Amino acid sequence: MSARTPIDGALRRYLDDLAAALGPPVPLSDAERVASLRAVMPRALAGRQSIPGLPNAVQMREVALAPGLAGRLYLPGGTGGSRPVLVYLHGGGWVVGSTATHDPFCRLLSAAADLIVVSVDYRLAPEHRYPAAVEDTLSAVNWAHTHADDWGGAADRLALGGDSAGANLAAVATNLLCGGGLARYLRGQLLLYPATDDPEPGQPSYAQNATGYGLEADAMRWFWRQYAPDAESSDTALFPLRDPRLPTLPPTLIATAEYDVLRDDGLAYADKLAAAGVAVTRLHAPDMHHNFPVHPGTVARFPQCQAALQAFAGWLRATL
C-alpha cells in the first residue's frame, strides 16, 4: 500500500479536542447510548446555521411528505425557470440525525447549486428498523416527483443524495427505482461516504481507521445492529455493494475520505458502478475524515471541506 497523506494537522487537533470534551467512554446499554447520542448531536450543531463566506440565503419550509413523514423544503432565491430537485437523506447511522441537524448543509448546498432540496426526516432505528427508512425514502421521492411543479421544481430532473447512512438509503432507493423502470426522472445520485457493504468483517478501512478519527469501527457496527439486527450479507437492499446485477443507473458522484471507516465502502462501490458502465465522478479527500464536508464545525474551519461542497454543487448543476 502506498504511503497515505497525513491527516490535516488542524483536523487532528480538532478531533482530539472533541474526544477530550467527551471524556473516556462509559459503559451504556443500547437504549442509554441511543438517548445520549440524540442529546449530544443537536447541541454539537447548535448555533452553526451559517458559514462565513458561503451563501445560504434560501427559503425553508416545513412540509409533510406522507402521513407521519416530515421534511424540509429549501428554495433558493432568484428568478428563472424551474429548478432541479435533490431529495436528501441525512446521516447518523440510521439512529440519530434529523432535518434540523443537517439544516446548515442543506441550506449551503441549495444556495451553491441553485437547486431545490427536499430533506427527509425518515424514521429512525431502533424504534423503526429496516426497511422503514427505505420505505420513507421511496415515499419522499414520490412526493418530490408528484409535487415538484407546486414550488418551481422540475419533476423530470430529480436526484437522490445523502451522507453516510443517508447515502446508503439514497443508493438503495435509486437501485430500486431504476430497477422498476423509473429512471426517466432520476438524473443523478450524490453519495457522500456511503455505507454499502456488510460491516462484518468490514472493508479494509474498518481496520485501518478503526479508532481516532471520529467515527469508529465498533460504533459503525453498532449502528448497523440497531438498524438491521437480522441482516443477511446477501440482502442488496441493505448492502448495495453485494448486488450482482445493478440496473441502469444515472450519473453518480461518490465522495470518500482517507481517514474514514467507510472509505473502502465508497471506493469499492465507485469501482462497481464504473464497471457497470455508470458515469462515476470520484471525489477523494486524502487528509480528511468521515463527515468532513457536511458537519458545520469542519466546513467552517477547513478549506478542503468548502472546496468539496463547491464541487458537489458544480457537479449537481452540470448533471441536472
Q: What are the backbone angles phi and psi of residue 116, rounded to the nearest 5°?
A: -90, 135
Selected catalytic residue, list 260, 264, 265, 287: 260
Tell me the pLDDT band of 56, cut-offs 50, 70 and 90.
Answer: confident
**pLDDT given for residue 297 in this prediction:** 82
Return the amino acid letter for 35.
A
pLDDT tens string 287-303: 999 999 998 888 888 99
**pLDDT given for residue 47 in this prediction:** 47
Active-site residue, 110 included: no
Tell me the pLDDT band of 181, cut-offs 50, 70 and 90.
Answer: confident
Selected catalytic residue, list 90, 145, 290, 295: 290
Return the amino acid letter for 209.
N
- Kindly give the residue spans of alpha helices, DSSP state H, lying in 241-302: 263-275, 296-299
pLDDT tens string 250-268: 999 999 999 999 999 999 9
**pLDDT given for residue 4 in this prediction:** 95
How, if at all, do strands 58-66 and 69-76 pair?
antiparallel
Architecture of the domain made up of 9-319: 3-Layer(aba) Sandwich (3.40)
pLDDT tens string 92-122: 999 999 999 999 999 999 999 999 999 999 9
- Cα–Cα distance for residue pair 149/154, rounded to 1 Å: 6
- Cα–Cα distance for residue pair 114/83, rounded to 1 Å: 7
**pLDDT given for residue 233 in this prediction:** 93
DSSP H or E segment with residue 146: helix 132-147
Q: Where are the domains of the chain?
A: 9-319
- Cα–Cα distance for residue pair 215/212, rounded to 1 Å: 8
**pLDDT given for residue 22 in this prediction:** 76
pLDDT at 24 over 90: no
- Cα–Cα distance for residue pair 41/216, rounded to 1 Å: 16
Active-site residue, 50 included: no
Active-site residue, 90 included: no
Q: Is the model more confident about 219 or about 300? A: 219
Selected catalytic residue, list 163, 164, 243, 295: 164
**pLDDT given for residue 248 in this prediction:** 94
pLDDT at 269 over 70: yes
pLDDT tens string 147-167: 999 999 999 999 999 999 999
pLDDT cut 90: percent of the chain above it: 83
